[in-house]
Structure 1
């Protein structure tokens, strides 16, 4: 199974990478495609740079830098991966990369936008969820000190026992 992991440098995008690593450790035979999407240059940047190659190099370097922590995590976990830096609208680029790399699933972090901002602007994860032809798994930001897995079950049992 090939997993697409969009990484924007945020902690929640790295949590999605950690989640994919957990899936692999639990027996999922997979490889990964890491992608970072750089926004198009602004008019000001285009005027000031004078050379489109300079802007392309800066975007490629910024994308490569954003991917480094995720690459290190996958390397440490022994998961085979490829990396891609794209430019343009993030949701459209992600959907295109899913098709180009023949990915089976997308695992991505929730954008973390508030409800009002998400309603006004939309979110990348929401757009990908609706536009993508493969399953999309949204990983929400973890709440620190929140119980996980067996710990969550134990916590529920402890609370129930305390109410008796």
Structure 2
């Protein structure tokens, strides 16, 4: 059975990635899903002035909370899944999580911005694709400007 890691950060593009993974499973792909989230590590100041274990527990709890909508989508589909929350730099930590968990591929969402804005958007998804030895599927979230343009075309017809 394939093992697919889906990066989840609570955003709509990440939920698009979850929907894509669920769609693959519903279409007959025999796969289990790993919903993965990465929280930035605490700063040196935070670590020096507060209990590091308390900060880590709070970060993991916050990550699990952000994953709730993704978990609900996967559970509604009846797909097999696990969750994991990591701490660190997002792209490198996601790639490490996928490799450590024996995943066969990664699915990650990105804003589907066009033009100059696309060079500035989706840096985590691009970095995951660059760092990973596994196949990476980037699911683009529609750019609101493109949706408005499409609506204008429909209105003109």
TM-score (norm 1): 0.79
Q: Partner residue of 1:30?
A: 31
Larger deviation, residues 109-118 vs 35-44: 109-118
Which residues in structure 2 correspond to 1:6-17 (within 5 Å)? Answer: 6-17=7-18
Q: Partner residue of 1:65?
A: 65
- Gaps in structure 2 of 5+ consecutive residues: 148-153
In angstroms, what is the RMSD of aligned CA positions?
2.3
Contact 2:34 2:81 in 1 (8 A): yes
Question: Take 1:143 and 1:123, find their aligned partners in 2: how far apart are those partners?
Answer: 16
Question: Take 2:24 and 2:133, find their aligned partners in 1: how far apart are those partners?
Answer: 21
Contact 1:32 1:82 in 2 (8 A): yes
Contact 1:111 1:125 in 2 (8 A): no
Contact 2:112 2:143 in 1 (8 A): no
Q: Partner residue of 1:53?
A: 53
Structure 1 residues 112 and 52 mapped into 2: Cα distance closer, same or farther (>3 Å)? farther
Q: Which has the higher strand share?
A: 2
Moved over 6 A (4+): none
TM-score (norm 2): 0.82
1:2-35 alpha-carbon deviations (Å, 9 max, x no partner): 1100101110000100011111111111110011
Which residues in structure 2 correspond to 1:14-163 (within 5 Å)? Answer: 14-49=15-50, 51-110=51-110, 114-118=117-121, 123-142=123-142
Larger deviation, residues 17-26 vs 104-113: 104-113
Question: Take 1:102 and 1:66, find their aligned partners in 2: how far apart are those partners?
Answer: 24
Shift of 1:48: 3.9
Question: Take 1:70 and 1:17, find their aligned partners in 2: how far apart are those partners?
Answer: 6
- Gaps in structure 1 of 5+ consecutive residues: 147-158
Shift of 1:80: 0.6
Q: Tell me the SS of whatever aligns to 1:93.
A: helix
